[in-house]
Chain A
Amino acid sequence: MLARFWHSDGFWMLRRSPAAMIAGLVAFLVIAGAVFAPWIASTDPYDLASFSLMDGLLPPVWQDGGMAQFPLGTDDQGRDMISAILYGARLSLLIGLMAMVIATVLGVGLGLAAGYYGGRFDAIVMRIADVQLALPAILTALLIDGIARGVLPSEMHGDVRVAVLTLAIALSLWVNFARTARASTFVERNKEYVQAAMIMGQHPLRVMFRHILPNILGPLLVIMTVDLASAILLEATLSFLGIGLPADSPSLGTLIRIGMQFLLSGEWWILWVPTLFLIALVVSINLLGDFLRDVFNPRLH
């Protein structure tokens, strides 16, 4: 299995592309750091007892007054910045991944069915997609969030914030998947293997998911990486606007919003540590997406 991966085309291209290698490494480190945050981070930023106001506003270790205990300094509450960004990235990645998965399942499901059945069902799905496309993703996400605030009783707001945010992002991203899946399905469904499967009397669902889906996965995988980056950016933007997550469970966007308060004073690290971390994460995911696009483009082989 490993040997097969090592000799594959994709890995050969990866070894030839230093940008993709670096991007892969950065993405891997960030994701590993986020997943293992509880074991790596020295303090738990959600646990008020684990840090003290006495340690507040300490600069990074290489500046005067920095302490080795807090390599990237602390915020005004005395939170260790490294712990804060690891836990923040954990939340950002969790929401981004869940939103991406929901958008994929919803979009690919609808796109497959629309391409397979065609006709009126296809027309309805595509009209909805058109309307959705006319509204930029951020506006859709803001609207869904606003509606959720209106519909849910206010005491529930804190508990369901993550779910609402995830759903809002997912619903603003599904269209790309639906359109791509539909277009590819249109091409595949007239090929002989699909016709054969249909004539053999296989269930439509089986034809769609067992036969067509594996053959249209390439372009979908590219969209998944690009949309993961979009989802993370969208979450960061919404949290930055103060619409997303509350300050007691900070994602990267919330951390940047908090850091903005220190823009005019000297404590640059509170703002720039999470900002640079977010940029590194998104740039590396986008570079990987570009790389995947080249891998799946047969003209470049």
Chain B
Amino acid sequence: MVYFILKRLFQSIFVMLAVAFLSFSLFRFVGDPVSQMTGVETTVEDRERLREELGLNDPFLFQFARFTGDLLQGDFGYSYRTRQPVAEMIADRIPATLELGTVALIISLLVGIPAGVYTALNPRGFVTQSILLTTLVGVSIPTFVIGIMLIFLFGVQLGWLPTFGRGGTVQIGGWTSSLFTVEGWRALILPAFTLGVYQLTLTMRLVRAEMMEVMRSDYILFATARGIPWRRLHFRHALANTMVPVITIIGLQFGGVIAFSIVTESVFQWPGMGLLFLESIRFVDIPVMGVYLVVIAFFFVLVNLAVDLLYIAIDPRLRVKEAA
């Protein structure tokens, strides 16, 4: 098990290095950093001196090593557009995106898993057929259109919920949270649901497929013959055995949730990292783009590591293997 964890850790570090390299190449080759920092009236000598000071004349690999070292120490450089430290800009925006993504993921699990179990256990029912048809249409409707529809229905026509921003926020340490006020939750519902819809359909279809597979297996037949109560049979014996693939996919999808939060944040003017990334693309603000990539990759790698550890907690066979 230790070997397994170490191996995964090593792979994660490799992925992070690859992404850091991509980010560094962006920074180094897309546009010239010196002309971004200086004005028209800067002389050629001044430019050359700045180039030397910034270390842009050093060997390529040496520069990359320094770039990675700076990243590790939390020095993410300065934005071309606002001249602020990128680390501060991102840190300001992280809570909004993480809260949005987490709530979206929780919604998708709370609705998706029961719906998947239900549609697997009653495959021919009317409710099942309508749920399946709804999800087929749901997958074909782009996220931003779902967002617009929700805004139109609940924000404009019914006037129940706010349609932009985070509502009331509370400062806890450096973390701006909208989870502790009623206004914050009201502002969170629509964007979180918009972001969660695609995940929800995916979770549901996966749980359904796995559940149907498991229900056909011999041990379920045997458990039925033993007269185990239905509730216990379905949840303790069947559902528990569908969880390993479900957790894998959810882990992989977390990256998708964060990426699609770009769209959701844009529709709802949600002040998170996605909105920041969009602005940075519009203004070709390379440092912010690069750091966004690194931060997203970091979350992605972290979640995947956590998923691997969860396997060990959920699947006893992995623990037994180590003992043997």
Contact = CB atoms under 8 A, between A and B. Distances in A.
Interface in B267-316: 277-278, 280-282, 284, 286, 289, 293, 296-297, 300
A237 B261 CA distance: 12
Given A134-B300, A263-B151, A282-B142, A147 B259 contact: no
B298 to A, nearest CB: 12
B256 A136 contact: yes
Given A136-B255, A136-B256, A229-B140, A145 B281 contact: yes
Contacts of B141: 279, 282-283
Interface in A256-286: 256, 260, 263-264, 271, 275, 278-279, 282-283, 286
B259 A136 contact: yes
A21 interface: no
A256 B140 contact: no
A200 interface: no
Q: Name the prevailing secondary structure of the B interface residues.
A: helix
Interface stretch (A10-18, A188-196, A239-247): A239-247
A134 B255 contact: yes
A287 B133 CA distance: 11
Contact of B284 (A150, A229, A236, A282): A150
A212 interface: no
Interface string B255-267: 1100110110010
B282 to A, nearest CB: 7
B296 A139 contact: yes
Contacts of B15: 131, 134
Nearest to A137: B259
A236 B142 contact: yes
A161 to B, nearest CB: 14
B170 interface: no
B54 interface: no
A143 interface: yes
B145 interface: yes
B136 A286 contact: yes
A271 B151 CA distance: 13
Q: Name the prevailing secondary structure of the A interface residues.
A: helix
Contacts of A54: none
A151 interface: yes
B259 A146 contact: no
Given A134-B15, A241-B278, A275-B148, A286 B262 contact: no
Contacts of A233: 142
B260 A138 contact: yes
B90 to A, nearest CB: 16
Interface string A61-104: 00000000000000000000000000000000000000000000
Contacts of A286: 136, 139-140
B148 A256 contact: yes
Interface in A99-153: 131, 134-136, 138-139, 142-143, 145-147, 149-151
B145 A278 contact: yes
A237 B146 CA distance: 12
B182 interface: no
A147 B281 CA distance: 8
Contacts of A282: 140-142
B152 interface: yes
B293 A143 contact: yes
Interface size class of B (residues with CB under 8 A): 35 or more
A240 B260 contact: no
A233 B143 CA distance: 9
Nearest to B266: A241
A96 to B, nearest CB: 13
Given A139-B296, A256-B145, A278-B145, A242 B262 contact: no
A145 B289 CA distance: 12
Contact of A283 (B140, B263, B282): B140
Contacts of B277: 142
A283 B145 CA distance: 13
B165 to A, nearest CB: 15
A263 B30 contact: no
A263 B155 CA distance: 10
Given A134-B300, A283-B137, A150 B143 contact: no
Given A136-B255, A264-B156, A286-B139, A275 B145 contact: yes
Nearest to A264: B156
B142 A146 contact: no
B266 A279 contact: no
Given A134-B255, A147-B30, A149-B281, 9 more contacts: A131-B18, A138-B259, A142-B262, A146-B284, A242-B278, A243-B281, A278-B145, A282-B141, A286-B139
The 6 closest A-B pairs by CB, nearest first: A150-B30, A136-B259, A146-B281, A283-B140, A139-B259, A150-B31
7 contacts: A240-B263, A240-B266, A243-B282, A282-B140, A282-B141, A283-B140, A286-B139
Interface of A: 131, 134-136, 138-139, 142-143, 145-147, 149-151, 229, 233, 236-237, 240-243, 256, 260, 263-264, 271, 275, 278-279, 282-283, 286-287, 290
